A and B are shown apart, each in its own frame.
Chain A
Amino acid sequence: MTRLGDEKTERFVAPFLLVKRTGYVGGYIIALLGILILNYSLLRALPGNLSTVIGADVMTRIPLTHPENHVGVSVLSFLAYLQHVLKGDWGVSFFYHQPVIKVIFQFLPWSLILGALSMATASLLGIILGAEAADRKSGLFDRIASGGAVVFLSIPGYLLAILLLVIFSVVFHVFPLSGGIQPFQDSGGLSSLMDYLRHLFLPWVTLTLMMFPEYYLLMRSGMMLSLKQPYILTARSKGLRERAIRYRHAARDALIPILTRLGLQMGSLITGIVFVEVVFSYPGVGALAYESLKQRDVLLMDGILLIGAIWVVLMNLASDILLRYLDPRTRQETTR
């Protein structure tokens, strides 16, 4: 183990130590293992044999345990299944006739860009509005922003998506009804980009409006507390400008609860992405999950669930490590 004596090492090592000490990584391992067990056992719980579903001609041509065989998984033992999954062989999608991982990675970029973009705008909007509203508590700005946040918190994402689709695509024809790009139009360059952005716009707006209230409410209540702290008085007595006080001193403290809830927000982001992509028929992983549900493409569904869980776990770990660097108090607790 590294010496924890001098402060510099401590600062660097602490985040990783925490991961080791608090056992929640154990929880994540349980989660991933649980999903694998579920994927494996549900596959076997299906009445009959998957091979009868897929068709006998596949059976006669490829040996059962062959990794490229869709039916293969259902005859493997759990350990062998685990081995395959760890090696990146998640089976073959019935519908796309391609390895599951390959299919998922074809659809992933669409969702990642949509998710990252909406997450960035939603958090920025929530944080700025929250900080400003907390400073003008019970003023007109605060009332409008808080009212808006509660309203958007109360509209489920799929509902908002349908309403926006009806208003902008069905009634006013401003934005396209579905899809990620206009098909059969490979002009390239700027016009393709504009086309891409036009399709991205409504899903992005929906997700942003869906997610910003949570950031807003957390930020507002956090700022209310941190603005009362003594160090704000100190900053004020130093004659700092209000904006500097608000964002450089108070906001830093208020950001911490937002970061700790990043993992939970990942869950709601995935939910939101699925609904939004289904409504707008956007070609991302969420819509892929829905399609594979309709096609009964079990292995693909398994793979998407696993990818989703890995994503949540990674973001949880990232937020935790980030938190150790931002908040010295949590750092001290763990090294003691």
Chain B
Amino acid sequence: MNHKSRHLSRIFWWGVALSGVIIVLGLFAPVLAPFDPWKVTGQPFELPSLIHLLGTNDAGQDILSEFLYGCRTSLSISLSVVALSTAIALFVGVTAGIFPHFDWIIMRLIDAFLAVPALLLFLLVSVHFSLSETRLILLLSLVFWTHPARMIRSQILSTRNRKYIEAAKGFGANTVYITFRHIVPEVFPILFTGFLTRLRMAVFIEAGLAFLGISDPTMKSWGTMLHFASRYLYLNRWANWILPVAASIFCVILGYTLMGNAFQNILIRSEK
């Protein structure tokens, strides 16, 4: 048992390390980047050299600087989306769990959201509006809240009738007090695993949308880099252009996945 728990936490720390590297790169991007990623500093399609460690892109901008600022974009968008959608989910889930009259309509609303193919919805919206960073965050949060809201609701429904809630009621506590003091804290463990899952999905979909060319093309993100790089596949510049981006997306998502899995295992064991 002892050995096993140590093994699990090792997986967790691997996850922390993998995503941590990218987080640090993103945080210190302005310090680390050798050039301004929007500035033309060389010829287009330069091969890696001492000046441009990863070469230059089709506009003559430094790929390494672009990549570092991409870490930043990916990080800020995914964190904001997850924070915002968690807030919505918490509000909706708690409302549905505590007030039975709203329950039916909220659940139907969640079913409705789950039946809409999200990517096609994003495509449709982007036909009509240009998606700036803020709009992208709002749009993604609008789709991401449903799953955690449902989990929160079911968790609350199972805690609501426990004995200690009855006891608190017996002491004369009102609904608001019981909700925030006793019921909401019960939700946090599942919220955390959900947080990691959605962080992963947010990184995935943010880069994906930018890859399709939907989000702001002047934004420096991994997705836009992939978008422009895949236009010039025939030039054989993928090793210095696509590979770093691919590797870092993979690292971040793998990191979040490992952390999530390890945490879920701990959760399952504590329930037993």
Contacts and interface: CB of A to CB of B under 8 A. Distances in A.
Contacts, number: 144
Contacts of B211: 158, 275
A30 B112 contact: yes
B123 A23 contact: no
Given A27-B109, A163-B246, A270-B120, A154 B257 contact: yes
A38 interface: yes
22 contacts: A24-B111, A27-B108, A27-B109, A30-B112, A34-B112, A38-B124, A42-B125, A151-B254, A154-B250, A154-B253, A155-B253, A156-B207, A158-B208, A158-B226, A159-B246, A162-B242, A170-B236, A292-B127, A293-B126, A309-B117, A313-B115, A316-B115
Interface of A: 23-24, 26-28, 30-32, 34-35, 38-39, 42, 45-46, 150-151, 153-156, 158-159, 162-163, 165-166, 170, 177, 263-264, 266-267, 270-271, 274-275, 278-279, 289-290, 292-294, 296, 298, 301-302, 304-305, 308-309, 311-313, 316
Contacts of B113: 31
A42 B126 CA distance: 11
Contacts of A163: 242, 246
A39 B123 CA distance: 12
A308 B109 contact: no
B104 A23 contact: yes
Contacts of A294: 213
B120 A274 contact: yes
B234 A159 contact: no
Contacts of A27: 107-112, 114-115
A34 B121 CA distance: 11
B111 A271 contact: no
Interface string B229-254: 01001101010001000100110011
Contacts of B207: 156, 158
Contacts of A279: 230
B128 A46 contact: yes
Given A23-B108, A31-B115, A275 B208 contact: yes
A264 B120 contact: no
B124 A305 contact: yes
Contacts of A150: 254, 257-258, 261
Contacts of A39: 124
Q: Which A-B residue pairs are the 9 nearest by beta carbons?
A: A27-B111, A31-B112, A308-B117, A154-B254, A30-B112, A31-B115, A27-B108, A154-B253, A270-B117
Contacts of A267: 114, 117-118
B176 interface: no
A304 B118 CA distance: 12
B264 to A, nearest CB: 10
B212 interface: yes
B226 A30 contact: no
B109 A30 contact: yes
B120 A305 contact: yes
Nearest to A297: B127
Contact of B108 (A30, A158, A275): A30
Nearest to B205: A271
Nearest to B111: A27
B233 to A, nearest CB: 6
A263 B112 CA distance: 12
A197 to B, nearest CB: 23
A130 to B, nearest CB: 15
Which of under 10, 10 to 19, 20 to 34, or 35 or more describes the interface residues of B? 35 or more
Contacts of B230: 162, 279
B119 interface: yes
Given A150-B254, A156-B207, A163-B242, 18 more contacts: A27-B115, A28-B115, A31-B113, A32-B115, A35-B116, A154-B254, A156-B208, A162-B233, A170-B238, A263-B115, A271-B117, A274-B119, A296-B127, A301-B123, A301-B124, A301-B127, A305-B117, A308-B120
Contacts of A46: 128
A45 B128 contact: yes
B204 interface: yes
A166 B113 CA distance: 36
A30 B111 contact: yes
Contacts of A266: 117
A31 B116 contact: yes
B214 interface: yes
A156 B230 CA distance: 15
Contacts of A293: 123, 126-127, 212, 214
A26 B108 contact: yes
A151 B238 CA distance: 21
Contacts of B124: 38-39, 42, 301-302, 305
Given A154-B254, A158-B208, A279-B230, A263 B114 contact: yes
B253 A156 contact: yes
Contacts of B119: 270-271, 274
A315 to B, nearest CB: 10
A166 B214 contact: no
Contacts of A290: 123, 212
Q: Which of A39, A267, A311 has the most CB of B within 10 A?
A: A267
A308 B119 CA distance: 10
Contacts of B121: 305
A290 B119 CA distance: 11
